[in-house]
Amino acid sequence: MKTKIGEWKSGIKNGIPIAMGYFAVSFTFGILAKQAGLNPFEAVLMSVTNLTSAGQFAGLTLIASAAAIVEIAVTQLIINSRYFLMSFALSQKIDPNTPVFHRLIMAYGITDEVFGVSIAVPGKLSPYYAYGLMSVAVPGWALGTLFGVISGNILPPRMISALSIALFGMLLAVIIPPAKGNKILTGLIVISMVLSLVFAELQILQSISSGVKIIILTILIAGIAAVVFPVKEHTHEYE
């Protein structure tokens, strides 16, 4: 049985690849943050407190359009709601006697990649293993953001423009693999893209802010999909 230190070191080891990937993606986020008018401190603070590329990208879009704080908060709640489900799943892998403060810290560090690595751990999940993952993943994301903001002042405009599309590439990498072989999911992605274009171009909707459009589309598409294509319940054992 591993000690707490051993679990922490194991988490660090498995978290290094995550940190390296985060650095590359958040570097692009830092460039976009610079373009949106954020200074290095603001950009890094956003990365440290949010830890989600999709949420941060949406947040930057709303900040650049001078959206209301309430609108930004609701948008973040909806976009990041998937982490509720990940937290529920991981709660089945930790010891029932795990103190609340451990649970809260672990919940803060949950991302798609951290969840994927944590859920694959055999047996019970130690909080210290999760801390090991977070010890390298969070700094990797924050440092990438910092270097991206700084590079926005140094790199030539053409290179910045080229690097700024990397985040879109990462988002495509997130949605394409699950869509392979899944006609329903593929159809929903296409419908989402089409409706997003329609909402952006229709003159009658020009008075609606981008944040409200995101909220409406997310609730509308996800709600209809949940009713029309319900997911069958399965019993999962995380032992």
The tokens of 131 are what? Answer: 């801390």
pLDDT at position 9 over 80: yes
Residue 234 belongs to a domain: no
Nearest CA to 188 out of 224, 232, 213, 233 is that of 224
The mean-pLDDT minimum among 23-27, 103-107, 121-125, 149-153 falls in 149-153
Confidence at residue 139, expressed as pLDDT on a 0 to 100 scale: 94
Residue 86 belongs to a domain: yes
Helix axis angle, 53-64 to 4-35, nearest 10°: 30
pLDDT at position 235 over 60: no
d(CA 178, CA 172): 11
Residue 106 belongs to a domain: yes
Judge contact between 47 and 56, C-beta under 8 A.
Answer: yes
User: Which range marks the domain in which residue 119 is found?
Assistant: 4-177
pLDDT at position 126 over 60: yes
d(CA 197, CA 151): 32
pLDDT at position 132 over 90: yes
Domain count within the chain: 1
* Cα dist from 68 to 38, 59, 65, 212, 227, whole Å: 17, 11, 9, 10, 31
Confidence at residue 209, expressed as pLDDT on a 0 to 100 scale: 64
pLDDT at position 238 over 50: no
pLDDT at position 91 over 90: no
Nearest CA to 170 out of 80, 65, 54 is that of 54
Residue 13 belongs to a domain: yes
Nearest CA to 147 out of 30, 22, 15 is that of 30
Judge contact between 15 and 134, C-beta under 8 A.
Answer: yes
Confidence at residue 129, expressed as pLDDT on a 0 to 100 scale: 93
Residue 203 belongs to a domain: no
